[in-house]
């Protein structure tokens, strides 16, 4: 009853007063459970440490898979400019709301999916709930929605990305076909890459080959760190134990 009353209060007020890594924000009231967890420092503290380390007022940030915006909001306070992508229409509405609640003006938010081509793709959530954090182009269930996709080379050609210091990609398995489109740009500019790998979403027979191929394409990065920002060997990631879990890795020169 108390939880229900709190939610009603937040929604009547129009926002949840929370914080991200100590930074105060006004946050949408429909995700108060998540925002409460994040405000307590219990959501991905390592991610905020990466944002602190690799963003600065004279650098830009690219967030691919923004969800409702926790990393975008925080990144906007650290970077000069943020480009972010969130193709799930429900999540994007909350992302836009959170940006408006905080009067953030240095973010370019796109409700489309980055891909290797322009078109329309079907996407759905692993758990079946629109707008949750597991929506992916790998899933095309009847409960899903159509997402507009734009090619990476189109986006790159239209924007000055020369000062991007950090790229975050968390797109629920779609990294296996989206990231290859960015390889030439990544190799040339060498921004730090915070990459979430979702190998368990691939079929058993494809998991090893696709993960090996993706990591091989990123070998120009000299350092790989794990979720706890500790050194990580590629060989460990290709073991069955590594392929059967979701991983977030940090790659930098």
What domains appear along the chain, each with residue ranges and CATH number? 1-42 (no CATH), 44-252 (3.40.50.150)
- Are 156 and 149 in contact by the 8 Å Cβ rule? The answer is no
Q: pLDDT averaged over consecutive 10-residue blocks of the chain (253 residues)?
A: 81 96 98 97 97 98 98 99 96 98 99 88 63 53 75 96 98 94 98 98 95 98 95 95 96 95
- Output the pLDDT for position 221: 98
Chain length of the chain: 253
The tokens of 132 are what? 């949750």
- Output the pLDDT for position 147: 84
- Output the pLDDT for position 2: 66
Beta strands 60-64 and 81-85: pairing type?
A: parallel
Cα(182)–Cα(131) distance, integer angstroms: 26
Q: What is the pTM of this model?
A: 0.91
């Amino acid at each position: 009853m108390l939880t229900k009353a709190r939610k009603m209060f937040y929604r009547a007020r129009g926002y949840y007063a929370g914080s991200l890594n100590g930074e105060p924000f006004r946050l949408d009231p429909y995700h108060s459970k998540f925002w409460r967890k994040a405000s307590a420092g219990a959501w991905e503290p390592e991610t905020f440490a990466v944002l602190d380390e690799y963003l600065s007022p004279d650098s830009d940030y690219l967030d691919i898979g923004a969800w409702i915006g926790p990393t975008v909001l925080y990144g906007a306070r650290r970077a000069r400019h943020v480009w972010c992508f969130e193709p799930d229409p429900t999540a994007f509405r909350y992302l836009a709301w959170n940006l408006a609640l905080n009067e953030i003006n240095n973010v370019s938010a796109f409700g489309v999916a980055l891909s290797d081509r322009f078109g329309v793709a079907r996407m759905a959530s692993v758990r079946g709930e629109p707008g949750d954090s597991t929506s992916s182009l790998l899933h095309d269930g009847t409960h899903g929605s159509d997402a507009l996709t734009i090619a990476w080379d189109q986006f790159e050609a239209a924007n000055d990305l020369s000062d991007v210091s950090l790229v975050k990609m968390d797109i629920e398995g779609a990294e296996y076909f989206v990231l290859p489109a960015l390889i030439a740009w990544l190799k040339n500019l060498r921004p730090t890459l915070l990459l979430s790998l979702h190998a368990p979403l691939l079929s058993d027979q494809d998991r090893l080959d696709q993960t090996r191929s993706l990591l091989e394409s990123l070998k120009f990065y000299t350092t790989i760190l794990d979720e706890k920002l500790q050194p990580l060997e590629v060989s460990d990631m290709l073991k069955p134990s590594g392929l059967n879990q979701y991983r977030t890795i940090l790659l930098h020169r």
